[in-house]
Amino acid sequence: MKSATCGILAAAFALGPLAAAADSPLGTDPIRLVIPFGPGGGSDITARVLAATAPEFCGPRIDVVSMPGAAGLEAVNFVRSATPNGHTLLVTDYGPIVTSGFIDEVDWEHSDWQPVMNFTEWLPTVYTRSDHDIQTIEDWVAVAEANPESVTFGHASPLGIVHLPLVLFEMETGLQNVHVPTSGGGETRSLVMGGHIDLGMTLPASIASEVAAGDLTALGVFASERSPALPDTPTFREAGYDVVLPAWLMIFATDEVPSETVTFLQDCFIEALASPTAVAMSDRVNAGISPLNAEESMELYMATVASIGSILREIGEIE
Amino acid sequence: MLESFVEALALATDPWVILYVSLGVFMGVTLGAIPGLSGDMAIAILLPIVFFLEPASALGLLTGIYKGGMFGGSISGISFGVPGTPGAAATTIDGYQAKLRGYPNKAMHTALYSSVIGDTTSDLILIFVALPLAIVALSFGPVEFFALYAFALLLISALTKGKVAKGIAMAALGILLAMIGRDPIGGSLRLTFGIPQLAGGLALIPVLVGIFAVSELILQLADAWMRKARRIVEDTKAKAEGLFEDYDAKADRLTWREFRGTLKATWIGTGMGTLIGALPGAGSSLAAFISYGLAQQFSRRRQDFGKGSLEGVAAAEAGNSATSGSTLIPLFAFGIPGSATAALFGAAFILMGMTPGPRLIYDHTAIIYALFIILIYANLVNLAMSKVLLPVYSKVAMIQSRILLPIVCVLAIFGTFAAGNSVVDVWVMLAAGLLGVVLRIYGFPLAPLILGFIVGPGAERALRQSLLIGGGDWMHLLSSPIAVGLYATAAAMILLFTVILRDRTQPPKPATGKEGSP
């Protein structure tokens, strides 16, 4: 229901210890982690682990601000137009920054952003009911080959992180499925469980317990290695389809932020996430945080820009 | 079983937990009463606190806020004609009319009692019959949802007597406004006229606050200026004005007889609210509007609806509040968050290291039982605290508008901005206000517009998903018995109440100044 619940997740909450290191190059003004999604989702929860633990290492308080307006572009533009001093950062998956940078009319380029660090890699996973005829990647391919456009496939946000892997898979295999966009992971799941559609795509953490309980079956993961949350689920690569499109969750600064500030943030964020408190929190919320530094993140970011660009060109979304 | 119940009881009745529940209810009622701010928002802001509080305290606080906010939205709806939360939009239709007729206290008490009755019943259903209802909820797919939305739109559009055409036109306009932004299926932009800020569509809060609140403010201001201007021309003396307008607090008490008269409407609202609340994605506003529509159709005093009917307030508020327990059913049964609030509760569970879903109640029996106990007694806390607060709030409602209006105006702008951290939303709100003024002047009903706007995206998505799944065949919309049943009921009701029973309704009264406003 639009942004009825989107909230200021911010200022009211000075939870971080105020024992700010006075010698922090960032001073005492709070750092804002702006997320282009509503509160309560995976990005929000992951960002909060950092917000709760990093002040001790970085100095100032950290607020998580949710701005889902204009399909996330409002958050991106907000960070873009903020003073480039490292106090306003964007936390996003590739949808609002890589995909939007290609298909939406924006006044920035992909190269106008620099990653500070990467939290995690999410592995898009195809799943269905455990009493459905299709139970493996091979079953799916067989049905789709026998009857093209007979399998209905639900996914959130067109061209986002749980849709593009399907597009890529179809490009590789030539299979055709009926794509049914939904309002989010919750709706996809209720359509799958209610028998209204055949397959859906989501991230492992949100179905792990149902898969363990035997209510849902995870067919396969679009990644180079299996997901720790779903150790029994094969990758598509294992099944012989080289389709790998993991989704990352990265912190970005604009390229105008001085590199020493970015380096400082990278160091203190990664240090904070390695602290016992952060590790315990990450385990508790199943966030699977394993940080990459700015340089590694940059590599991953540019690779994603290239691969998504080629998918979008192939399907005719861009020239 | 008994052992975990005792453990849960100990958790739930810990003095600190009771304190947090009370604090939550107070915050919820107060925030809910501010147009634009809602309980959901407060929960979103306070979500990180679950990292630091005991699970029972955290859940108590969130539950309190949620329940308080559910009811609080009706306070500003009744007082200022501004639904404090989207769910209270239907309560506003009759609630504000009741206030204009000088009995805000009656309306607020009706809202409170029906809210508590609806909420408690819904909680009991969550606790005892969650699973069967959850299975019904899962059988609602795109085909069934589209039928439900169509049913709701027809019902509300046909409500305004003698203005069915205007009602349908307004519902259509609401759907059109909801279509601005990104196409939910193809992802392309539409109706944005090249304005990038409209890419995400119009948000609900600014449209709601604009249509109801800003238009009311503008009209009242115009009225006040007109009187002042006339006074200057005629050089008459203003009568002595106190803080309060002419208001008889003694006459404005809800009697037992009046309360009993609203019970049927309350139970209609409770039933519909519980059912619709359990459907993932349907939402409390839809439940409130459908309850209101049905209560009117089945009322012996239909002609009073829209003119300050306490039955109208009771049905809408019971329908709104009765979603609160059942909205958690899909979350507990399948781990599916059926509403924004359920999503936030789901996030709270995750932050506490508990994964929502069928295993939840087995893996964390004590804390879930404790939550059930809190859900029930938070209603009593809500009742008691609101009983204390209401006399104050209903007096506030009667404060001179020259004092009240600027305050409400500031709150509306603040609340709208805070809801999405967006300046664009404030402009949308002001534009919606101007639209509201025009529509009111020409006697268009506002409720169908709001309902159309609320269900528009869902209805469009459901229709297009149905057609995708059905391979483009429109007959697929009739492939489900539930959908056929809904269409048949809608058709039968409209026939029954517009053609067959037409003679029973009273001849139209001469239009009063406020008729046609929500």
Q: Is the ipTM of this complex over 0.85?
A: no
Of A73, A183, A190, the CB nearest to B138: A190
Residue A211 lies in a domain: yes
pLDDT in tens, A222-251: 999 999 889 999 999 999 999 999 899 999
Tokens in use for B261?
């008269």
Please check whether residues A205 and A147 belong to one and the same domain: yes
Instruction: Tell me: pLDDT of B268 over 90.
Output: yes
Q: How confident is residue A180, by pLDDT bands cut at 50, 70 and 90?
A: very high
Confidence of residue A13 (pLDDT cuts 50, 70, 90): very low
d(CA A224, CA A238): 9
Q: Is residue B16 very low, low, confident or very high in pLDDT (cuts 50, 70, 90)?
A: very high
Identify whether residues A89 and A178 lie together within a single domain. Answer: no
Chain B partners within 8 Å of A79 (Cβ): none
Is A34 part of a structural domain of the chain? yes
CB B106 within 8 Å of CB B98: yes
* CB atoms A71 and B199 under 8 Å: yes
Whole-number Å distance between alpha carbons of B122 and B328: 10
Q: Residue A262: is its pLDDT beyond 60?
A: yes
B199 touches chain A (CB under 8 A): yes
Q: Which residue has the higher pLDDT, B24 or A317?
A: B24
User: Cβ distance B157 to B170 under 8 Å?
Assistant: yes
pLDDT of A146 strictly over 90 = yes
Q: Domain boundary at A175, A205, A221, which? A: A221
Contacts of A103 in chain B (CB under 8 A): 187
Q: Which residues of B touch A181 (CB under 8 A)?
A: 184-185, 187, 461, 465
My answer on whether A155 and A292 are in the same domain is: no
Is residue A243 a part of any domain in this protein?
no
Residue B514 has pLDDT above 90, yes or no: no
Instruction: Give A4→chain B minimum CA distance, Å.
Output: 6
> Nearest CB to B355: which of A8, A69, A209?
A209
Average pLDDT over residues A98-114: 90
Cβ distance of B45 and A12 shorter than 8 Å: yes
Domain that holds residue A195: 125-221
Look at the block and give the residue holding tokens 């090249």.
B194
Query: Look-up: residue for tokens 């209510």?
Result: A215
Question: How many cross-chain Cβ pairs, A to B, lie less than 8 Å apart?
Answer: 219
A65, A186, A209: residue with CB nearest B337 = A186
B206 or B495, which is more confident: B206
| Residue-wise pLDDT tens digits, B95-145 | 999 988 888 889 999 999 999 999 999 999 998 888 788 888 888 999 999
Q: Is A193 within a domain?
A: yes
The whole-number pLDDT of residue B225 equals: 85
Q: How far is A301 from chain B (nearest CA, A)?
A: 23
CB contact under 8 A, B41 and A181: no
Q: What is the count of structural domains for chain A?
A: 2
Specify whether A133 is located in the same domain as A105: no
B200/A73 CB distance under 8 A: yes
CA distance A152 to chain B (A): 7
Please compute the mean of the pLDDT values over residues B421-430 and round it to a whole number: 86
For B200, the closest of A48, A74, A281 (CB atoms) is: A74
In the predicted model, what is the mean pLDDT of residues A247-268?
A: 95
Out of A94-98, B196-200, B217-221, B452-456, which region has the weakest mean confidence (pLDDT)?
Answer: B196-200
Same domain as A109, residue A94 = yes
| Pairwise pLDDT comparison (B38 vs B87), residue with the higher score | B87
- Pairing status of strand B189-190 against strand B181-182: antiparallel
User: What pLDDT, on the 0 to 100 scale, is given for residue A93?
Assistant: 94
**Quick check: B427 pLDDT over 70?**
yes
pLDDT value at residue A4: 33
The pLDDT of residue A19 is 41
* DSSP run (H or E) holding B334: helix B329-334
Give the pLDDT confidence score for residue B160 in this predicted structure: 63
A130 interfacial to chain B (CB closer than 8 Å): no
Does residue A206 sit in the same domain as residue A269?
no
Residue A29 domain flag: yes
| pLDDT tops 90 at residue A154 | yes
CA of residue B149 relative to chain centroid, distance: 16
CB of B391 less than 8 A from some CB of A: no
Query: Which tens digits make up the pLDDT trace of B375-401?
Result: 999 999 999 999 998 888 777 777 776
Q: What percent of chain B has pLDDT over 70?
A: 90
Where do the domains of chain B lie?
2-403+420-505
* DSSP-derived secondary structure for B392-407: HHHHHHTB-HHHHHHH
Q: Does A210 reach chain B within 8 Å, measured CB to CB?
A: yes
Of A85-94, B179-188, B230-239, highest mean pLDDT: A85-94
Q: What percent of chain B has pLDDT over 90?
A: 36
In this structure, the answer to whether residues A191 and A254 fall within a common structural domain is no
Residue A67: its pLDDT value, please? 82
Q: Does one domain contain both A100 and A193? A: no
The CATH number of whichever domain residue A267 belongs to comes to: 3.40.190.150
What is the model's pLDDT at position B37?
A: 74
- Rounded to the nearest angstrom, the minimum Cα separation between A311 and chain B is 16
Residue written as token pair 């509201």: B436
CA–CA separation, A85 vs A79, rounded Å? 11
| Closest Cα in chain B, distance from residue A207 (Å) | 9
Q: Is A104 in the same domain as A25?
A: yes
Is residue A144 domain-shared with residue A112, that is, in the same domain? no
From the list B182, B204, B418, which residue is nearest A1 (CB)?
B204
Do both A13 and A99 map to the same domain? yes
What's the mean per-residue pLDDT of chain A?
A: 87
Q: Is A66 on the interface with B (CB under 8 A)?
A: yes
pTM above 0.95, yes or no: no
CATH number for the domain that contains residue A194: 3.40.190.10
pLDDT confidence tier of residue A281, bands split at 50, 70 and 90: confident
The pLDDT value recorded for residue B236 is 52
At residue B518, the pLDDT reads 40
Confidence at residue A9, expressed as pLDDT on a 0 to 100 scale: 35
pLDDT digit string, tens, across residues A16-51: 344 444 457 788 889 999 998 877 678 888 898 899
B18-68 pLDDT, tens digit per residue, is 999 999 999 999 888 877 677 777 787 777 777 778 889 999 999 999 999
pLDDT of residue B1: 60
Closest Cβ opposite residue B468 in set A51, A52, A178: A178
| Per-residue pLDDT at A306 exceeds 80 | yes
Assess B129–A contact: CB distance below 8 Å, yes or no: no
Query: Is B159:B305 a contact under the CB 8 Å cutoff?
Result: yes
Task: Tell me what pLDDT residue B498 has.
Answer: 66
Residues A29 and A53 in one domain: yes
Residue A79 lies in a domain: yes
